[in-house]
């Protein structure tokens, strides 16, 4: 049976930039465990000839013509930004490394 | 700043270790629009003017795939001898960074559109090295950050950063090689030659500008070492965004010598990204590499799968142009070149420009000679690329034609070329302005000949006595008198007939 540890929950929370308290770690580990076990139950039923479903609609190859469409002006683009400078979005100091 | 790294002498590295390379090349497609929205895909421009709710990652905005970008991806895959997926999906690669406003990159994970191919790479000495291709997949580029307040524009010491999302969402194809083993001492050269061959291929396909200086072609070089006699790969480092062919070669060589020194000293290599510094040719430590699990990939729910019909793939295969290596073989046969002559042309990056000169009407031998010798010297002397010289293939072809019709001698032709390079206009204008036309009027030549013979009666006597070789002195005098604008062969003929009469 799958299970998820408290440490794994803490790691996922960090990756998702979620501030999770010590108590919540225990709570979520238990809840996520239930979800994982439920999914595993479904997996037991699915045989090899049932492909995993990622999309509910049976569509493929939905493409767009390569034609330019008007977007936003610089002013519109920046209108919701908490801070802007020289036509660019201004963000606080980036900690850590260049991606 | 970290201390200067210990490096091992390159020859010693090769005595003790075998390098393993892995190259990831990102190429921006030159489609009209971005990968998932209709914003213009153009380099530069005022910041945040080619943006929309989709590429800014606004809630509720939905992506739609650019069909032309998929076509280009399939054509690249086919040109790299890859299999094309029957069915594949996009995936979300989740991480937080300000240059990606959605907080995930739409990419492909375990279902790339193209996989299992190869590219045969021509090395400097004519040897061919086969680079196996693991996969080519579709994704989108990120925005551009400007770090403000730091001393060098780098992230360290910056007070804040400014983001321009014009590039966010530009179609990107990532081409990944399988681990390259057996390159030995030639690892740095193989890396450069591969990126160079890939660039030529992409250019021939017309799918990208492939400008390394503008970032439309970028290379990340993975390097690891394994001790001689073992076959277990060592820990690799990934040197990011190495932005010229020369830097690719230098970065690989540097990492080999650095790894070797660490390993020989009993240390271990940390799996990390490294930054290449163009000015010093060295690399510096970056972030520790995330594992794939940390990106929490999952199938992109907003985009339906892509299932390229086999008929479509065949149609696209039929659109592949003559590929660079096929073109080289054809040109070698048509121009009757030896392997060495062909390689010199390729290495001098002169093949295209010589071909253009031939297309403008010049015979291949003359076209090749002008570009590979005289113009290459000029380019070297001024420190410019051959293709950046201010003379066009058509102008060179014109000069060659003027020599062929007898209007210019080779010496005068070089002066005409110098004039064109100096910005004096078209070849005909330079001839006119500098007064470089060959003196073809026999009467003018005869006058000069008579004068020279009169000035050197002893020589004239020798020629009359049958010592034809002595005519050289008279030819020289006539050439001097006509400022080099006479055809020496014609002058010689006239001197001899003059002395015989």
For chain A, domains (ranges, CATH) are 6-45 (1.10.20)
B103 is written with which tokens? 């907080």
Helix (H) or strand (E) holding A15: helix A6-15
Instruction: Supply the pLDDT for residue B437.
Output: 75
Q: Which of B176-185, B279-288, B364-373 has the lowest mean pLDDT?
A: B279-288
Q: Tell me whether residues A88 and B162 touch, CB distance under 8 A.
A: yes
Show the domains of chain B with their CATH numbers: 10-314 (no CATH), 322-434 (no CATH), 442-500 (1.10.10)
Distance of CA B79 to the CA centre of its chain: 18
B274-328 tens-digit pLDDT: 999 988 999 988 877 667 788 999 999 999 999 999 999 999 999 999 888 888 8
Distance of CA B69 to the CA centre of its chain: 23
Q: Report whether B100 contacts B295 (CB < 8 A).
A: no
- How would residue B1 be classed by pLDDT, with cut points 50, 70 and 90? very low
- Residue B208: strand, helix, or coil: coil
From chain A, the residues in CB contact with B148 under 8 A are 85
CA torsion angle B90 B95 B100 B104 (round to 10):
30
Q: Is the ipTM of this complex over 0.85?
A: yes
Q: Which residues contact B275 (CB under 8 A, 6 or more apart)?
A: A98, B239, B240, B241, B283, B284, B286
From chain A, the residues in CB contact with B70 under 8 A are 63
Give the pairing of strands B17-28 and B171-177. antiparallel
- Compute the nearest-CA separation of A23 from chain B (Å): 24
Q: Tell me whether residues A99 and B95 touch, CB distance under 8 A.
A: yes
CA torsion angle B113 B114 B115 B121 (round to 10):
-150
Query: What is the distance between the alpha carbons of residues B466 and B375, in angstroms, rounded to a whole number?
Result: 42
Q: What is the pTM of this model?
A: 0.80
Q: Which of B219-228, B434-443, B466-475 has the lowest mean pLDDT?
A: B434-443
Instruction: Supply the pLDDT for residue B85.
Output: 98
Q: Report whether B38 contacts A64 (CB < 8 A).
A: yes
| CB nearest to A88's CB, from B65, B164, B304 | B164
Q: Tell me whether residues A88 and B163 touch, CB distance under 8 A.
A: yes
């Amino acid at each position: 049976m799958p299970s998820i540890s408290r440490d794994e929950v803490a790691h996922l929370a960090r990756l998702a930039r979620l501030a999770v308290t010590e108590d919540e770690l225990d709570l979520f580990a238990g809840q996520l465990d239930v979800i994982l076990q439920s999914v595993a139950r479904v997996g037991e039923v699915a045989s090899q000839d049932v492909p995993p479903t990622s999309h509910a609609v049976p569509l493929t190859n939905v493409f767009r013509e390569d034609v330019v469409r008007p977007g936003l002006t610089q002013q519109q683009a920046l209108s919701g930004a908490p801070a802007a400078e020289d036509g660019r979005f201004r963000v606080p100091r980036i900690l850590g490394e260049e991606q | 700043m970290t201390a200067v790294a210990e490096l091992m002498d390159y020859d010693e590295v090769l005595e003790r270790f075998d390098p393993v390379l892995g190259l990831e090349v990102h190429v921006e497609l030159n489609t009209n629009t971005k990968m998932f929205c209709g914003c213009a895909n153009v380099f530069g421009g005022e910041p945040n003017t080619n943006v929309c709710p989709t590429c800014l990652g606004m809630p509720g905005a939905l992506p739609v795939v650019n069909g032309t970008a998929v076509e280009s991806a399939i054509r690249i895959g086919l040109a790299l001898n890859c299999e094309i997926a029957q069915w594949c999906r996009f995936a979300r690669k989740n991480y937080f960074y300000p240059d990606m406003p959605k907080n995930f990159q739409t990419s492909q994970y375990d279902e790339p559109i193209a996989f299992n191919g190869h590219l045969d790479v021509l090395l400097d000495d004519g040897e061919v090295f086969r680079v196996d291709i693991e996969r080519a997949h579709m994704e989108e580029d990120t925005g551009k950050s400007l770090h403000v307040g730091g001393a060098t524009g780098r992230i360290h010491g910056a007070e804040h950063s400014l983001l321009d999302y014009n590039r966010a969402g530009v179609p990107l194809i990532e081409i990944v090689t399988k681990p390259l083993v057996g390159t030995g001492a030639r690892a740095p050269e193989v890396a450069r030659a591969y990126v160079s061959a890939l660039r030529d291929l992409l250019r021939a396909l017309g799918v990208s500008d492939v400008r390394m200086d503008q970032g439309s072609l970028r290379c990340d070089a993975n390097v690891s070492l394994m001790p001689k006699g073992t076959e277990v790969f060592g820990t690799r480092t990934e040197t990011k965004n190495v932005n010229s062919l020369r830097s690719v070669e230098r970065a690989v060589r540097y990492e080999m010598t650095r790894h070797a020194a660490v390993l020989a000293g009993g240390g271990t290599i940390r799996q990390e990204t490294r930054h290449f510094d163009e000015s010093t040719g060295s690399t510096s430590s970056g972030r520790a590499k995330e594992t794939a699990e940390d990106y929490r990939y999952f199938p992109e729910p907003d985009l339906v799968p892509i299932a390229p019909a086999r008929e479509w793939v065949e149609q696209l295969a039929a659109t592949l142009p003559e590929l660079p290596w096929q073109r080289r073989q054809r040109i070698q046969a048509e121009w009757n070149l030896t392997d060495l002559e062909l390689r010199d042309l390729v290495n001098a990056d002169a093949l295209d420009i010589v071909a253009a000169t031939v297309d403008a009407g010049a015979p291949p031998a003359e076209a090749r000679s002008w570009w590979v010798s005289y113009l290459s010297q000029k380019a070297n002397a001024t420190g410019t690329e051959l293709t950046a010289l201010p003379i066009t293939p058509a102008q060179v072809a014109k000069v060659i034609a003027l020599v062929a019709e007898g209007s210019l001698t080779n010496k005068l032709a070089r002066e005409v070329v110098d004039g064109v390079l100096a910005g004096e206009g078209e070849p005909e204008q330079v001839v006119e302005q500098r007064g470089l036309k060959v003196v073809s009027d026999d009467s003018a030549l005869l006058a000069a000949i008579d004068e020279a013979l009169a000035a050197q009666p002893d020589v004239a006597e020798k020629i009359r006595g049958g010592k034809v070789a002595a005519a050289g002195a008279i030819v020289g005098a006539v050439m001097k008198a006509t400022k080099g604008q006479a055809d020496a062969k014609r002058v010689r003929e006239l001197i001899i007939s003059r002395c015989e009469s």
